[in-house]
């Protein structure tokens, strides 16, 4: 069998494994908190109501992704797979973008390695989420494809317009995507220095794409205000730190539990070997090298923006860098001896990695265990919690009868919470959906002599901190892998 056939066989196997793993995970994995927020926003009765919910802090994003989900729901497609299908297809699209970019300069085996690298990377974790991040990465990747082929295009005006629209769409999916427009702008400036000429249509397209953030200014203004209230907390979960920046790179490159078959190892091996070989020959920096290097630095740009402006840093804001690393590992493999066979061998290693569960598997297990624990609760009593994250997840992931019993207890002094982000989110959603059972703890205790308490040992805000444990009888009812259900009887009162 020729290397060409082997390359396409590698891609076919990667496609099958990717499809089986992501579809199975999408069907079986309950929604985590951010997905709950996205789906709830999309379930609003009209597109205008979606905008209104986001303006009230339903979550911190522009409305394009929620409008997409809203449209699917209106068509009757409201299951977990339907809500996550766009992300599954988006990651697969990024893989084809990586393949196409490399194939323009390299043989098919090296391009197949780039394709497989994407499908084995941590980017796949975001394929099984009803969140916009994978779609943002796809918009950026498609814009890079148009940028790379711009000089050879017969319709450069259309190509430039396409880049502007794709960058604008990415920003409509998530505010942080404006940094991707900045990344491509820096690449274009580097290209201008390299070739000593300016492509005004390209600069205009990138600039207009970035400026599209102004379309969402009304929501952005509210989001910024809500964000300031969260980031001011001393233990805010997303404070930008160098450790989190390092975790972001490891998360994108070692997206599976088995690091020995992860893109991180493949990248290290190929990179070190290629560096040693580069000492003997001179490497010419190509246009694709400019893109790859810039894309790899996206998390650094996000981190700098977080430190100076937003004060919020998450790995997911920079996952488009997966495209950059796919280009870098292909570039490295191409420099190795017998590049076509070496690339196929590295791709086979990545296939082994794809056989292992997604990193999100442990999260899915916890979500399922929590929902099962709540649904096993003895009947007749409300189920209270002071943990905003668990309240949101249980409200969505449990059956209707159990969800109707859930109550979130608000603390009288939120300053006592190290990180009130999730609690703020519940309170914001109460203003959007008054039906949510969100009540002050004192009022709840006055009305209920006995209740069930959903306890999370790792949560910062527990409902039991709202009453004096010395004046209450607490009995364990049931235990799950990550939470405990107890019955609380307040002293001096009989059930």
Tokens of 355: 């056989």
Domain that holds residue 432: 362-490
Instruction: Indicate the number of domains in the chain.
Output: 2
Statement to judge: residues 218 and 189 lie in one domain: yes
Which among 354, 379, 405 is the end of a domain? 354
pLDDT tens sequence for the chain (495 residues)? 688 899 999 999 999 999 999 999 999 999 999 999 999 999 999 999 999 999 999 999 999 999 999 999 999 998 999 999 999 999 999 999 999 999 998 999 999 999 999 999 989 989 999 999 999 999 999 999 999 998 888 889 999 999 999 999 999 999 999 999 999 999 999 999 999 999 999 999 999 999 999 999 999 988 888 888 777 777 788 889 999 999 899 888 887 655 566 888 788 778 878 777 766 666 678 889 999 999 999 999 999 999 999 889 999 999 999 999 999 999 988 888 888 898 999 999 888 888 776 655 677 888 999 999 999 999 989 999 988 889 999 999 999 999 999 999 887 655 455 668 888 899 999 999 999 999 998 889 888 889 999 987 654 445 555 666 657 788 888 988 888 898 988 876 544
| Statement to judge: residues 382 and 343 lie in one domain | no
Q: Which residue has 């300031």 as its token pair?
A: 228
Would 74 be classed as within a structural domain? Answer: yes
Same domain, yes or no, for 278 and 425? Answer: no
Q: Is-contact 295 144, C-beta < 8 A?
A: yes
**Domain's final residue, options 321, 354, 387:** 354
- Is the domain of 344 the same as that of 408? no
Q: Given this model, what pLDDT does residue 272 score?
A: 78
- Looking at residue 464, its pLDDT comes to 55
Q: Is residue 495 part of a domain?
A: no
Residue listed under structure tokens 């820096």: 186
User: Rg of the chain's alpha carbons, rounded to an integer?
Assistant: 25
Give me the pLDDT at residue 1, please. 63
Q: What is the C-alpha to C-alpha distance for residues 408 and 394, in angstroms, rounded to an integer?
A: 11
Do the Cβ atoms of 230 and 421 come closer than 8 Å?
yes
Q: 3-class DSSP state for residue 201? A: helix
Closest to 237 in 3D by CA, of 61, 393, 421? 421
Q: Which two tokens stand for residue 475?
A: 């009995």
Q: What is the pTM of this model?
A: 0.92
Strands (E) located in 172-232: none
pLDDT at 283: 62
Q: Are residues 317 and 349 in the same domain?
A: yes
- Both tokens assigned to 210: 């970035």
pLDDT number for residue 20: 93
Q: Are 441 and 467 in contact (CB under 8 A)?
A: yes
Instruction: Tell me the β-bridge partners of 358.
Output: 256
Q: What is the pLDDT of residue 495?
A: 44
Q: Do 386 and 441 share a structural domain? A: yes
Judgement on whether residues 194 and 89 belong to the same structural domain of the protein: yes
User: Which H or E run includes 391?
Assistant: helix 388-397
Residue 61 DSSP symbol: S
Q: How many helices (H) and strands (E) does the chain have?
A: 22, 6
313 and 373 part of one domain: no
Same domain, 314 and 187: yes
Contact 226, 37 (CB under 8 A): no
Question: Measuring CA to CA, how many Å separate 367 from each of 194, 215, 374, 398?
Answer: 51, 36, 11, 10
Instruction: Note whether 52 and 105 are same-domain residues.
Output: yes
Which pLDDT value is given to residue 16?
95
Structural domain ending residue among the three candidates 337, 354, 371: 354
Residue 223 in any domain: the answer is yes
**One domain, residues 158 and 30:** yes
Residue 106 tokens read as: 């390299």
Let me know whether 87 and 187 are in one domain. yes
For residue 295, tell me if it sits in a domain.
Answer: yes
**450 within some domain:** yes
């Amino acid at each position: 069998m020729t290397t060409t056939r082997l390359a396409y066989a590698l891609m076919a196997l990667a496609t099958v494994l990717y499809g089986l793993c992501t579809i199975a995970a999408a069907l079986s994995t309950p929604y985590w908190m951010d997905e709950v927020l996205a789906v709830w926003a999309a379930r609003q009765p009209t597109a205008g109501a979606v905008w209104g919910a986001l303006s009230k802090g339903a979550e911190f994003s522009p409305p394009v992704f929620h409008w997409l989900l809203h449209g699917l729901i209106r068509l009757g497609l409201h299951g977990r797979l339907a809500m996550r299908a766009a992300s599954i297809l988006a990651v697969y699209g990024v893989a084809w973008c990586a393949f196409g970019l490399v194939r323009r300069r390299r043989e098919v085996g090296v391009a197949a390695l780039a394709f497989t690298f994407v499908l084995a990377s941590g980017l796949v974790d975001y394929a099984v989420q009803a969140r916009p991040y994978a779609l943002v990465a796809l918009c950026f990747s498609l814009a890079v494809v148009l940028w790379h082929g711009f000089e050879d295009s017969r319709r450069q005006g259309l190509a430039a317009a396409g880049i502007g629209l794709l960058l604008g769409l990415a920003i409509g999916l998530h505010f942080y995507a404006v940094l991707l427009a900045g990344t491509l702008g820096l690449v274009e400036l580097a290209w201008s220095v390299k070739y000593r000429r300016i492509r005004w249509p390209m600069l205009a397209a990138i600039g207009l794409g970035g400026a599209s953030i102004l379309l969402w200014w009304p929501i952005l203004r509210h989001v910024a205000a809500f964000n300031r209230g969260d980031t001011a907390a001393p233990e805010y979960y997303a404070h930008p730190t160098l450790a989190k920046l390092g975790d972001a790179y490891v998360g994108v490159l070692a997206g599976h539990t088995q690091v020995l078959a992860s893109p991180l190892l493949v990248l290290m091996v190929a990179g070190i070997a290629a560096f040693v070989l580069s000492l003997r020959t001179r490497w010419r920096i190509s246009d694709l090298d400019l893109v790859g290097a810039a894309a790899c630095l996206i998390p650094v740009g996000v981190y700098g923006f977080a430190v100076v402006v937003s004060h919020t840093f998450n790995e997911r804001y920079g996952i488009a860098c997966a495209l950059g690393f796919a280009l870098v590992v292909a570039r490295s493999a191409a420099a190795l001896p017998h590049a076509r066979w070496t690339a196929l061998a590295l791709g086979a290693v990545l296939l082994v990695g794809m056989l292992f569960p997604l990193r999100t598997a442990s999260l899915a297990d916890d979500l399922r265990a929590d929902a099962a624990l709540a649904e096993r609760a003895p009947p007749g009593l409300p189920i209270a919690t002071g943990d905003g994250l668990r309240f949101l997840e249980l409200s969505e992931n449990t059956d209707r009868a159990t969800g109707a019993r859930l109550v979130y207890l608000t603390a009288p002094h939120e300053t006592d919470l190290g990180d009130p982000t999730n609690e703020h989110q519940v309170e914001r959603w109460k203003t959007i959906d008054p039906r949510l059972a969100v009540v002050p703890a004192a009022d709840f205790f006055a009305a209920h002599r006995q209740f069930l308490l959903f306890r999370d040992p790792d949560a910062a805000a527990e409902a039991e901190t709202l009453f004096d444990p010395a004046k209450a009888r607490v009995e364990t009812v049931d235990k799950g892998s990550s939470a405990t259900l107890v019955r609380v009887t307040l002293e001096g009162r009989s059930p």
